[in-house]
Amino acid sequence: MKKYLASCRGLPLLLLLLAGCLPAAVPGPMPTPTLSPRPNGLAADADIFARNQRLGRGVNLGNALEAPQTEGEWGMKIEAGFMPLIRAAGFQHVRVPIRWNAHAVAEAPYTIDPVFFRRIDEVIQQALDAGLVVLINMHNYDDLMLNPPLNYDRFVALWEQIATHYQSYPPELFFELLNEPNSLLTAERWNPLALRALAVVRRTNPQRAVVIGPDSYNAVGRLFMLQLPDADRNLIATVHYYNPFQFTHQGAEWAAGSDAWLGTSWTATEAQKTAVLRDFDEVAQWGKQNRRPIYLGEFGAYSKAQMEYRTLWTAFVARSAEERQFSWAYWEFGAGFGVYDRTARQWNSALLQSLIPKP
């Protein structure tokens, strides 16, 4: 897994950024997406809380389209056969992390590579054809985090292109403006930038469900800093959860000092469960006060944790989220946190059971 940035209450933030480079300009007009006929499953549903429940249980297709330059660079490619497998296992949606900025011109008008657009079209259509809701985001835009003012216009222009390109897609397609705002993209900078991007999305997608999270890596403890326009009721607030970080990221190669955490357990003690419930109750209370549904966009424990503890933690987090009416997406499908073994071509049955219990 290439989860370079993470936040954790009571622990210092860990930061490891890869330097990226932008491709050369790609000339030519943006392609018009071609859609297969779809049932009008959400078209009549104006209730954003119901749409959030339609997201339900999901999984992240991480380590693929958010790689620095090329899908597969991190060992993961999205195969067409994954989508029916995911749906048959009981998941209701996929979250697709995408590094759009690596496939766009560096200067205005910041044109997105049409070939890359076609690849995203293909992945979205595969998900829709399998009966999945699909959420696309903007992931790993490191330049925006490190130099926000220099990238404001580019970020907004990218979303203008994405929104225009997908304006005719069915409501089963959700947008997420930005994965884990962090570093110099503080709440004071992120809130007005999110409003700018949302405004360009709404020109072409007035009713599209849009997901927005707080700064500090979508931290639970920063949700109170998130400012959403009260008049727009088609928004879903998101947080990510990897607490306790020394358990979920033990042995993670990108987390400095994580080898010292190897062997950390999570045995569902009262103190451990109370810590999770306290965090989730805080999120639920914010959602109630602000009349916003909640999406737990990422949670997971790395494969170097003992499986017994991983499944205990995963099941407790998932059930606690569901009890509070949060939709969720596990991080992730088939890499370091994976619920699916791509080599063996089979589900990790214990981990899948913790996410989607079978009688």
Catalytic annotation, residues: 180, 298
Q: Which of 181, 78, 180, 179 is nearest to 132 (CA)?
A: 78
Q: Which helix (H) or strand (E) holds 347?
A: strand 346-347
Q: Which long-range contacts (CB under 8 A, 24 or more apart) does 27-33 make?
A: 28/114, 29/114, 30/111, 30/112, 30/114, 30/117, 30/161, 30/164, 30/165, 31/114, 31/117, 31/118, 31/121, 33/121, 33/165, 33/166, 33/168, 33/169
Q: Which two tokens stand for residue 279?
A: 């965090």
Q: Which two tokens stand for residue 215?
A: 């700064």
DSSP 214-243: -HHHH-GGGGGG----TT--SEEEEEEE--
CA dist 247 → 99, 276, 346 (Å): 28, 13, 25
